[in-house]
């Protein structure tokens, strides 16, 4: 067999193998859970007052019916903030400072952290759900993985723990927003570890 034909067959085999790993799975995420424990990593990039800002860290997410508790940890393992959200209020606590309580967690995080952590949206996003720009419930799948939310976030569910599963689970989520107050070009990359049993 001529060498050029062998090379062509190898290229074709490699191409077909690459195609086999691409998922067109239309199965949506599993049923929404009010009780869930997750952890993962965040990277945040944004523009503020003409300057580029960048942050990285980890998060622990504990969700129960009506309550969410979040711990944000810096790259060296130090606790940056703890957040507790109930139907009545949201409280953010930083090391060495008194807790601050307000009604809206998203505006509270922007005011205290300097950028908006969309905790209210993350309740849905971490499980592959969102409310779209028309107010309809969106359920993500590997084949249908982008949505613009009612409050202006553009979400892309980029990677899945098993893209071919009967009920796939998001692994990597990109959330972007053009502007929010004095923040421009905000992008958040969320990596979600498998849910704890």
**With pLDDT > 90 as the criterion, what percentage of the chain qualifies?**
73
**How far are the Cα atoms of 31, 92, 131, 175, 188 from residue 154, in angstroms, in the given order?**
22, 25, 11, 6, 10
Average pLDDT of every residue of the chain: 87
Q: What is the DSSP letter of 29?
A: P
Q: Is 21 exposed, middle or buried (0-12, 13-18, 19+ CB in 10 A)?
A: exposed
Residues 6+ apart with CB under 8 A from 59: 39, 40, 41, 42, 70, 71, 72, 73
pLDDT band at 47 (very low <50, low <70, confident <90, very high): very high
Instruction: Please report the pLDDT score of residue 12 as a whole number.
Output: 39
Greater pLDDT, 23 or 55:
55
SS (H, E, C) 38-97: EEEEEEEEEEECCEEEEEEEEEEEEEECCEEEEEEECCCCCEEEEEEECCCCEEEECCCC
- Residue labelled with tokens 């908006």: 116
- Residue labelled with tokens 């903030």: 81
Q: What is the DSSP letter of 22?
A: -
pTM: 0.84
Q: Which helix (H) or strand (E) holds 197?
A: none
| Tokens coding 102 | 């307000």
| Tokens coding 115 | 């950028």
Specify whether the CB–CB gap between 70 and 39 falls below 8 A: no
pLDDT in tens, 114-162: 888 999 899 999 999 999 999 999 999 999 999 999 999 999 999 999 9
């Amino acid at each position: 067999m001529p060498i050029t034909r062998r090379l062509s067959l190898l290229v074709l085999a490699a191409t077909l193998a690459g195609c086999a790993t691409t998922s067109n799975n239309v199965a949506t995420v599993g049923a929404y859970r009010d009780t869930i424990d997750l952890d993962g990593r965040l990277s945040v990039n944004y523009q503020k007052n003409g300057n580029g800002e960048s942050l990285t860290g980890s998060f622990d997410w504990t969700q129960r019916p009506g309550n969410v508790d979040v711990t944000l940890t810096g790259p060296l393992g130090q606790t940056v903030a703890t957040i507790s959200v109930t139907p009545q209020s949201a409280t953010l606590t930083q090391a060495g400072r008194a807790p601050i309580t307000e009604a809206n967690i998203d505006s509270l995080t922007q005011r205290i952290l300097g950028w908006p952590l969309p905790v209210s949206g993350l309740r849905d996003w971490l499980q592959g759900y969102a409310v779209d720009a028309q107010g309809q419930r969106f359920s993500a799948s590997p084949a249908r993985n982008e949505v613009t939310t009612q409050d202006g976030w553009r979400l892309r569910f980029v990677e899945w723990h098993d893209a071919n599963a009967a009920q796939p689970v998001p692994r990597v989520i990109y959330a972007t927003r053009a502007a929010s107050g004095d923040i421009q070009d905000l992008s958040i990359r969320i990596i979600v570890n498998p849910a704890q049993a």
